[in-house]
Amino acid sequence: MSNKKLPPPPALPPSFTASSKFCLFHKGDLSEDIYTCPKCKTTYCLECAKKAQTDRKLCIKCKQIVLL
């Protein structure tokens, strides 16, 4: 048998959990007017959702088309 020491396990980054008051499109706090994805219920700023619809971006979590 070998007397080699095994390397330590990799250190994983802490998991990121976005609060319900966080917009994943602009990566900041939600504005007062919000849009909720009908499929996964993720909330975005309404202005960000309008821009995402214009730019044909998808919901970040479920990849659903942003429909207003």
pLDDT in tens, 8-23: 888 877 665 556 689 9
pTM of the model: 0.69
Alpha-carbon distances of 59 from 3, 12, 37, rounded to whole Å = 51, 26, 7
The H-or-E segment that residue 53 falls in is helix 46-54
CB 29 within 8 A of CB 22: yes
The C-alpha angle 16, 21, 26, rounded to 5 degrees, equals 75
User: Which domains are delineated in the chain?
Assistant: 23-68 (3.30.40)
Find, among 18, 19, 68, the residue nearest to 48 by Cα. 68
Q: Output 61 or 16, whichever has higher pLDDT.
A: 61
